Structure 1
Amino acid sequence: MRLAQLTVSALAVMPLASALLVTAPATSDVPAAAGPDEPRVVLSEDFSGGEIPDGWNAVEGAWSVEDGRLVGASESSSQQSRITFGPNLRNYRVEVTVRFDEVVNSARWAAVALDIAADGSTPWWIATMRSGTSAHNGLEFAQRTASNSWNVTDTAPAPYDAGTGNDVRVAIEVRGSRATWIFDDEVVVSTAALHRSDEGVLGLIANGATVSFDDVLVVEIDDDPITRPIGPDSVPAVIAHRGYSGVAPENTLAAVEAGMRTGAEYIEIDVHSSTDGVPIVLHDSTLDRTTDGTGALRDVTADYVSGLDAGSWFSAAFAGQPVPTLADVLDLMKGRAPELLLEIKGPETYDEMVTTIDVIRERDQLDQVILQSFDEQVLRDAREIEPDLRLALLRSTIDSDPAAVARDFDVVSYNPSWARLQDRPEAIAELHDAGIAVMPYTVNDPDQWEILRDLGVDGVITDHPGRLVGWNARHVQTVPEEPTVQIVSPADGAVLRRGDVIVPAVVTERAHDIQITFDGEPVEQGSVIDADSLELGEHTLFAVVTGVAGEAEASAVVTVEASAEGLVRLATGPEVPKHIRDQLLAAIDQQDWSRTARLAEQAVNRGDLGAHPGELIAADAHALR
């Protein structure tokens, strides 16, 4: 979902939601009848009954109904007073009138819980507002983790302070893992970072404050269409081809994770079936190019494939990356923002298609998947097996009547080769007139991105989604507002061990220049930083962006920690001679950290071992003593 699309959809719903607020029944959990084009009212509550409504569960702090308002109070700045309510919803808009009655200080806050267990237990995601709402972090999207720490993903100032004694109407629109904060009818900040659960409900929270809430309205809303909205600042969706295959080995979990962290709207992968019918994520029909195995995938079992290395061919930093199954990818993506553009390579038997679609159904992820294929029989079988699964047609050429073909296959998107589409760009308008999206493959050149954007395609399949995310963001900088920058990888506070890698990725708005440094040294977005090369302790990724209206900066601090496994990795590195390696491994096996450090230091002094690996080994061993 693009920011421009979020903004348009959010504003489009506001007048309707306001009308519903006037006409909806003032009772909890009473759905209102809705016309075919109206969102369904799930809950409308004005607390006129004088008591906490049925179905509302006060799980922490003091909650009561006073003077027709729900009042929540926390006893200290560390208590998160919580009340939960409502059903589990995927796409919804929640509106509420909020008033701070008393606050410990202006940094204290109230929040709408967007996904919280009915018993209020962690983890949960919230949309937060402080009484000092115009502060740089006056509005936030944040997670309370299972370890009771905070993960704040997005912050922004509201247009003015909520203060105390003032009613403020707020709304949050949630579509899957994406959400938009709307403060007094103004769209302020959006996120794609929510992790959704299967059973999470809604809630209200007060921290270090007494807060009163009124006129709670929850309506179900539709998924955003995959066709691109019309507008000068509209940009095509970013589709990470085989994951972020420009910086990680294609079709691996590392590439999928990197693609998700860039902010790409879709992750594209390829699937074949093994000889025992397991859907395996692999582009080629053979194992030779991207694994250390050989032969046709169709001739081997999933168990054999699970033992292969799918990362070393790309870089030693990815040695040991397994060949994932479709189930592995779905599990990694479940509850997170991007959708999966799943290419079935074909040919596949009907039974193999049943197995593949069952993997998706069993995880309740039909709404997160678009299945595409060049193989027409694959699409016919998929439609018969699961009518609710969205389909897309891949084409190496453009049909004489692409819209008619798309309708015949009942697809939501027609995804052609860009090499062929540029010869018939008028096909884009023909498909859009039929309500069909167009997402061509595989385009890595920014000059071509500009042509595709101006032609109005709905998505671009690329090996470099991080670059396209940044390129899109620069395009929408038509209004001279202050730039913003967010580091999406690595996560601030991350703890790394030897063998881990960092792939710097930032998302910016209204910026035309991006400078990224790691420990003061320039690095490129999408480059790979190997934790094996870093000293123990904290390391800082720092990003500075420049826009028309100024600069913005962000930083993320990661910590490299020592471990026995990490020492083994360092001791078996290519720069360590065999006789030194054997001595080191014997000492590590005995957990004799002093001897391990001494051996490394002596080897460096003798000139038998380079200073860099030797000093790292010695430092890690000293840290474990």
Structure 2
Amino acid sequence: MLTLNRRPRRPVAVLAALATTAGLLAAVQISAPAPAAAKPGDVVVAEDFSAGTLPAGWRAIDGEWTVRDGRLRGTATSGTKKITFGRHLTDFRFSATVRFESVAEATRWTALGLDVPADGRTPWWIATMRSGTTAANGLEFAQLTTANAWNVTNTGSAPYAAGTGRDMLVAVEVHGNQARWFLDGRQLLRTTSLTRSTDGGQALIVNGGSVSFDDVLVTELPPNGYLRPAGAPMTIIAHRGASAAAPENTLVAQEIARRSGADFVENDVQPSRDGVPFVLHDATVDRTTDGSGAIRTLTAAQLKALDAGSWFAPQYAGARLPTLAEQLADLRTRGGNLLLEIKGAHTRDEVARIVEVIRAEKMTTRVFVQSFEVDALRFTRELAPELPTGLLRSGLDADPVAMARELGVTAYNPTGTALLARPSVIADLHAAGVAVMAWTVDSPAQWQQLERIGTDGIITNRPAELAGWNAAGQLGAAVPTVSIAAPADGVELDRAQRPVLTVPATDADTVTVTLDGAAVPVGKPLDLTGLAAGAHRLRAVASGPKGTATAEATFTVAVTPAGLGHLVLTSGAADQALTVLTNHLVKGRYAQLARYAERHAGRFLPEAKARVIAADARTLATR
């Protein structure tokens, strides 16, 4: 049997203490409709298997489950085998140390069961990890349906392979239909597509191999986890849907946003003349439809007859303004969450109608209401305290925390520009349990700045690009690499050549290059006309969060007639001198050329160029 060095044991009491500490931190970090009301949850499971037997209440449904060497080992030579435990939770963190001991092939997997009935009956939801975690589907969120078919909703990959014999710290944070997948402390996958049961607990699952588990910990969390956990990227909120790629505030923009990886769709709601909540940003329909007039003067029937897509591009002709009910039904059936802005002043009855639609569509756990209008937020909190709310701001209040507390909001949402001008407010809001979502930011440079100051979410017109930027960041900074691709090491060049200095680098914030100790710009042609003949040294230094890397290359400037000709023609010599120098060059009179350049240096040709011309000419004269 393979024997591996084991890290020091952590008894259950220590795990429970750590979990309690994590719960206390979660109380600070995870917001609720009334921030001050967030409380740490219970430690539901804390098991390190030091007792040597299966813990009480753990139910091995199928497969071989044994405790050996202080670890729980599950073996499934074929098919999917599971062990269930815990209890039903809506908001929780489930973590474990996992090691593939052996697998039939790299596609085999293990999983944390997120919502699995104690008897193992379907349907159930899992967070899966293959031993080949670098595959495109190395990580998954998936459901086994009552038809015993897999519904894989989200896939992703890790920057390194789990393989066999390697401990991996895996964790999933669940908040209702949302879940975040963490590997070794870094979020690599997120879903908003979980469908929850009323009684499913937790499970460990093995498929096609033998897997061991240690330090299994399940901790209940406060609800509404909109603050960004450590190791997680910023939440992606698609502004009016994927509005850079499709007509805003339409179902097609919502679909593109969903496929782009957006965590939320942000849309605006306003009532028609007959009180039906419609999804539209402007006070009038003029800009984004083929109609005209204020939305509040048009009936639902009139609004539904408008073309809301042709203005954007011909292929979207016929797209319609959706009602709020239609938008929510689409999100409910196809997946996704809504950051809903109540646009403009609304009466209490108008807000009540919005709440009525959200409840009728059974979307109260997947809608987040925001508004610039303080009264709209107060009405929402009064009518539907279960809905999280966010205060939109163009700038920052003198005391954002006081304003957030007064309104009982879950998030404070100013412009990205305002946040960058006063970044300290983020820490203050986080300490009060209030999340921060910045709008409307489409620049990767600003994404980076906002991520560094702790922003929780970004409202953007470019959700696909932000998803890619997030994914690249989640691969994590590695030790930088750098090389000098051109000029190649050892190459011989003449004066007429102008090689472009090419220095590829990875995971570096800065790259500096020196030529014989003097800085030179990367990506620019090297001017060889001022260099002495012979060897020259390039040195590149790449610096990043994980350290520095260096590379060196040498090249030789060779003396050739063609190179000397280039020197003469580009020297800036006066016409008289240029005629003499060229005549000597063509006739091969290199010694005379050298003497002429030396004699007239500083008069008929630049002194520095004259010295190089003379030196090259004397070299050719001795050959």
2:221 aligned partner? 221
Kindly provide the amino acid, as one letter, of the partner of residue 283 in structure 1.
H
Change in Cα spacing, 1:457 to 1:105, as seen in structure 2 (3 Å) is: closer
**C-alpha separation in 2, matches of 1:64 and 1:236:** 38
Classify the secondary structure of the residue corresponding to 2:322. coil
Are 2:247 and 2:253, in contact at CA under 8 Å, matched by a contact in 1? yes
1:153 aligns with 2:155: yes
Pairing of 1:159-558 with structure 2 (within 5 A): 161-163=163-165, 170-175=170-175, 176-182=177-183, 186-187=184-185, 190-193=188-191, 195-199=193-197, 201-209=201-209, 216-222=216-222, 226=226, 237-302=235-300, 304-334=302-332, 339-362=337-360, 365-396=363-394, 398-417=396-415, 436-446=434-444, 458-471=456-469, 479-480=477-478
Report how many aligned residue pairs link the two structures.
Answer: 454
Give TM-score, length-normalised by structure 1: 0.58
**C-alpha separation in 2, matches of 1:189 and 1:436:** 21
Pairing of 1:9-88 with structure 2 (within 5 A): 19-20=14-15, 38-43=40-45, 56=59, 58=61, 61-62=62-63, 74=76, 76=78, 79-88=79-88
Change in Cα spacing, 1:297 to 1:55, as seen in structure 2 (3 Å) is: farther
Alpha-carbon offset, residue 350 of structure 1 = 1.6
**C-alpha separation in 2, matches of 1:455 and 1:327:** 37
Gaps of 5+ in 2: 1-8, 20-37, 482-505, 510-543, 547-623
1:143 aligned partner? 142
Residues 416-441 of structure 1 show CA distances to partners (whole Å, capped at 9, x for unaligned) of: 45677778778767766766555443
Change in Cα spacing, 1:169 to 1:260, as seen in structure 2 (3 Å) is: closer
Alpha-carbon offset, residue 207 of structure 1 = 2.1
Change in Cα spacing, 1:382 to 1:74, as seen in structure 2 (3 Å) is: same
Residues 205-251 of structure 1 show CA distances to partners (whole Å, capped at 9, x for unaligned) of: 33234556677542213468655689xx9976543211111111101
Alpha-carbon offset, residue 16 of structure 1 = 11
1:113 aligned partner? 113
Note the aligned Cα RMSD (angstroms).
4.9
Classify the secondary structure of the residue corresponding to 1:286. coil
Are 1:240 and 1:462, in contact at CA under 8 Å, matched by a contact in 2? yes
Kindly provide the amino acid, as one letter, of the partner of residue 139 in structure 2.
E
2:91 aligned partner? 91
Are 1:162 and 1:168, in contact at CA under 8 Å, matched by a contact in 2? no
Are 2:269 and 2:281, in contact at CA under 8 Å, matched by a contact in 1? yes
Classify the secondary structure of the residue corresponding to 1:208. strand
2:126 aligned partner? 125
Change in Cα spacing, 1:282 to 1:203, as seen in structure 2 (3 Å) is: same
Are 2:413 and 2:438, in contact at CA under 8 Å, matched by a contact in 1? yes
Are 2:192 and 2:336, in contact at CA under 8 Å, matched by a contact in 1? no
Alpha-carbon offset, residue 196 of structure 1 = 0.4
Q: Percent identity?
A: 39
**C-alpha separation in 2, matches of 1:18 and 1:510:** 40
Are 1:115 and 1:196, in contact at CA under 8 Å, matched by a contact in 2? no
2:27 aligned partner? none
Are 1:253 and 1:324, in contact at CA under 8 Å, matched by a contact in 2? yes
Change in Cα spacing, 1:385 to 1:107, as seen in structure 2 (3 Å) is: closer
- Using CA pairs below 8 Å that are at least 6 residues apart, which structure has the higher relative contact order? 2
Kindly provide the amino acid, as one letter, of the partner of residue 91 in structure 1.
D
Residues 546-593 of structure 1 show CA distances to partners (whole Å, capped at 9, x for unaligned) of: x999xxxxxxxxxxxxxxxxxxxxxxxxxxxxxxxxxxxxxxxxxxxx
**C-alpha separation in 1, matches of 2:123 and 2:170:** 24
Classify the secondary structure of the residue corresponding to 1:192. strand
The more displaced of 92-101 and 192-201 is 92-101
Are 2:172 and 2:179, in contact at CA under 8 Å, matched by a contact in 1? no
**C-alpha separation in 1, matches of 2:211 and 2:275:** 56
Kindly provide the amino acid, as one letter, of the partner of residue 42 in structure 1.
V
Alpha-carbon offset, residue 190 of structure 1 = 1.8
1:612 aligned partner? none
**C-alpha separation in 1, matches of 2:73 and 2:474:** 41
Gaps of 5+ in 1: 1-13, 25-35, 484-508, 513-546, 550-625
Change in Cα spacing, 1:384 to 1:51, as seen in structure 2 (3 Å) is: same
Change in Cα spacing, 1:402 to 1:367, as seen in structure 2 (3 Å) is: same
**C-alpha separation in 1, matches of 2:478 and 2:215:** 36
Are 1:371 and 1:390, in contact at CA under 8 Å, matched by a contact in 2? yes
Alpha-carbon offset, residue 101 of structure 1 = 7.3
Are 1:180 and 1:187, in contact at CA under 8 Å, matched by a contact in 2? no
Are 1:153 and 1:193, in contact at CA under 8 Å, matched by a contact in 2? no
Pairing of 1:569-608 with structure 2 (within 5 A): none
**C-alpha separation in 2, matches of 1:125 and 1:386:** 31
Residues 59-84 of structure 1 show CA distances to partners (whole Å, capped at 9, x for unaligned) of: xx5466688987765463xx223455
**C-alpha separation in 1, matches of 2:173 and 2:96:** 12
Classify the secondary structure of the residue corresponding to 2:191. coil
Are 1:123 and 1:144, in contact at CA under 8 Å, matched by a contact in 2? yes
Classify the secondary structure of the residue corresponding to 1:283. coil
Alpha-carbon offset, residue 153 of structure 1 = 0.6
Are 1:431 and 1:438, in contact at CA under 8 Å, matched by a contact in 2? yes
**C-alpha separation in 2, matches of 1:15 and 1:358:** 50
* Greater radius of gyration (CA): 2
Change in Cα spacing, 1:330 to 1:63, as seen in structure 2 (3 Å) is: farther
Are 1:83 and 1:120, in contact at CA under 8 Å, matched by a contact in 2? no
Change in Cα spacing, 1:381 to 1:445, as seen in structure 2 (3 Å) is: same
